[in-house]
Chain A
Amino acid sequence: MALSDVAMVAADSSRTRAYLYALARHDLLPAHVVVLENRSAELLPGQADDKVAAESEIARDVVDEALAKAPPSAKDDCWSEVRFDMTRPLLGLLDALGVPWTAAPDKNINAPDVVAMIAARPESVFIYSGYGGVLLRADVLSAGKHFLHVHGGYLPDFKGSTTNYYSLLDEGQMGASAIFLTAEIDSGPILLRRRFPAPERRGEIDHVYDSAARAKVLVETLAARAPTGDWRPELDNSAEGDTYYIIHPVLKHLAILGGGSGA
């Protein structure tokens, strides 16, 4: 069943696939998807290459049954959204799920034509699943839509980039937080946030576990809010937390190889 007032603007990325698999399993698919296709040969941040997919122990096990309706026990399984095919062609997946889609004229969400396309859509809430490192600028933020974003980290403590690695080093756990995007990075009011235990295969955080944590929070947010249209935040996000920048690979390796609590 589609959520009539919810659309999605989606990069061709592993996170988008995680979202779509999760939304399909829980009957929360968007009414429409605006696809930010990358038509160049060079992969963009967030896109998994063949090597990543080939080395993924989790992706190897994904079959179409991963799209089957989630069992009731999924509610209590924090990693219930970990199974998705990170390399399945996105447009084929959308067609298989019966989700209408439109290819955006540009892969950059801030391009005027893309902003106009989004603004013209009837849905008021857009799930945002963009390419890494892209910030929404004033034009798209003032297009009359609410952009629902799931940050990969527990807000407001961990704002910024690659925060789940810092979180693992600092607290031994990960997080994900659903917010509406504002001009200030990761500072929109928090709709829902969850903590997640350190995953079993930390080498697959980038494309699998971080995406799965965000997908879990997305599902819970939509399940709680979309049917009623009540998007009141769970809590304010104005508290000062540290802002984190892309983690240096030495620290990333410590987070992946580490097994202690870090606390």
Chain B
Amino acid sequence: MNYVYTEENRLEQPHKYMYTAFGGTAFLQAYAADRRAAIAADVAAASSAEESIDANLLRALQGKDIGAAVDALGAATRGLEDATIDAPPATVALLLALAARRALGLKIRDLDRAWVSRLAQRFEVTKKLYAGYAPGFRKGILPRDEVRPYWLLALVLSLYGAHDGRLSLLSTLLKVDDLLCSLPAAQREGAIPSGGLAYILRQELATVRALAAKVEVDDGAL
């Protein structure tokens, strides 16, 4: 059985996920195999030489020393400070701020949760994430096909969803990860830091396995 949700480019052909068919444990095996293949490919292509805020964000989340780059992450968190629905910052600034707060071990605030929920809602309603939104945070006004925001969204969903145990965010994360895995490697290059896809997919698989164990689904399927 193939895992069909990554077979087409989901930036170009979004999936609505309505009334999806039941495929038994074979489906879960196909999903896990698809994710493991994507992890392996990303690990094989990884290089440690990258220096970007996203790369340092990833290193910080992995518990590695990032030296002076911690100041840049601290600065990134300020992207949330003046953010309102009526004056929303660029999507990347919002996402970086949310991710950086977790990377720096800062306490999650209701404000942070509200933005995570809004960003998830925007993606769920349109299956797209725009680089910017008009006041009101409903209408997207900047490009929607840049890959980097989707990776940052997946990272944020993973960090906040896992912390709060929110199934709704896990479901959205799975869809965003389907989108990222559906893209050709060349489309992800330069948009996701080295090893960044593998990182979020490992987190996702671990969360899904934990949930499977909790509801007594045979872990061998995953």
State which of A166, A203, A242, A250 has its C-beta within 8 Å of the C-beta of B31.
A250
Report the bound CA distance from A109 to B216 in whole Å. Answer: 42
Chain A contact residue count (CB 8 A cutoff): 32
Interface pair A250/B208, CB less than 8 Å apart:
yes
B16 to chain A: closest CB distance in Å? 7
Interface pair B211/A254, CB less than 8 Å apart:
yes
Q: Closest B residue to A163 by CB, please name it.
A: B168
Interface pair B18/A246, CB less than 8 Å apart:
yes
Q: Does B167 contact A (CB under 8 A)?
A: yes
Q: Does B141 contact A (CB under 8 A)?
A: no
Q: Does B13 contact A (CB under 8 A)?
A: no
Interface pair B27/A253, CB less than 8 Å apart:
yes
Interfacial chain A residues near B22, Cβ < 8 Å: 203, 252-253, 256
Q: Does A232 contact B (CB under 8 A)?
A: no
Interfacial chain A residues near B19, Cβ < 8 Å: 45-46, 132, 206
Report the bound CA distance from A166 to B167 in whole Å. Answer: 7
Q: Closest A residue to B23 by CB, please name it.
A: A253
Interface pair A248/B174, CB less than 8 Å apart:
yes
Interfacial chain A residues near B23, Cβ < 8 Å: 253
Interface pair B174/A250, CB less than 8 Å apart:
yes
Q: Does B8 contact A (CB under 8 A)?
A: no
For chain B, what secondary structure do more than half of its interface residues adopt (helix, strand, loop), or is it mixed? helix
Q: Does B170 contact A (CB under 8 A)?
A: yes
Report the bound CA distance from A242 to B25 in whole Å. Answer: 28
Q: Does A249 contact B (CB under 8 A)?
A: yes
Whether A254 contacts B171 in the complex (CB less than 8 A), given A45-B19, A203-B22, comes out as no
Q: Does A62 contact B (CB under 8 A)?
A: no
A202 to chain B: closest CB distance in Å? 9
Q: Does A259 contact B (CB under 8 A)?
A: yes
Report the bound CA distance from A204 to B211 in whole Å. Answer: 22
Whether A169 contacts B216 in the complex (CB less than 8 A), given A247-B171, A251-B167, A253-B22, comes out as no
Interface pair A257/B25, CB less than 8 Å apart:
yes
Interface pair B212/A166, CB less than 8 Å apart:
no
State which of B16, B121, B212 has its C-beta within 8 Å of the C-beta of A246.
B16
Q: Does A234 contact B (CB under 8 A)?
A: no
Q: Does B175 contact A (CB under 8 A)?
A: yes
State which of B20, B121, B214 has its C-beta within 8 Å of the C-beta of A243.
B121
Interfacial chain A residues near B170, Cβ < 8 Å: 248, 251
Interfacial chain B residues near A133, Cβ < 8 Å: 16, 18
From residue 22 to 74 of chain B, which have CB atoms closer than 8 A to chain A?
Answer: 22-25, 27-28, 31
Interfacial chain B residues near A252, Cβ < 8 Å: 20, 22
From residue 71 to 114 of chain B, which have CB atoms closer than 8 A to chain A?
Answer: none
Interface pair A249/B17, CB less than 8 Å apart:
yes
Interface pair B17/A248, CB less than 8 Å apart:
yes
Q: Does B124 contact A (CB under 8 A)?
A: yes
Interfacial chain B residues near A262, Cβ < 8 Å: 214-215
Whether A258 contacts B31 in the complex (CB less than 8 A), given A166-B168, A243-B121, comes out as no
Beyond known contacts A242-B168, A246-B18, A257-B217: 8 more, CB 8 A cutoff: A169-B211, A249-B20, A250-B174, A251-B167, A252-B22, A253-B217, A257-B221, A260-B214
7 example contacts (A-B, Cβ-Cβ < 8 A) are as follows: A133-B16, A166-B167, A248-B17, A248-B170, A254-B217, A257-B28, A262-B214
4 shortest interchain CB distances as A-B pairs: A258-B215, A260-B216, A248-B174, A245-B124
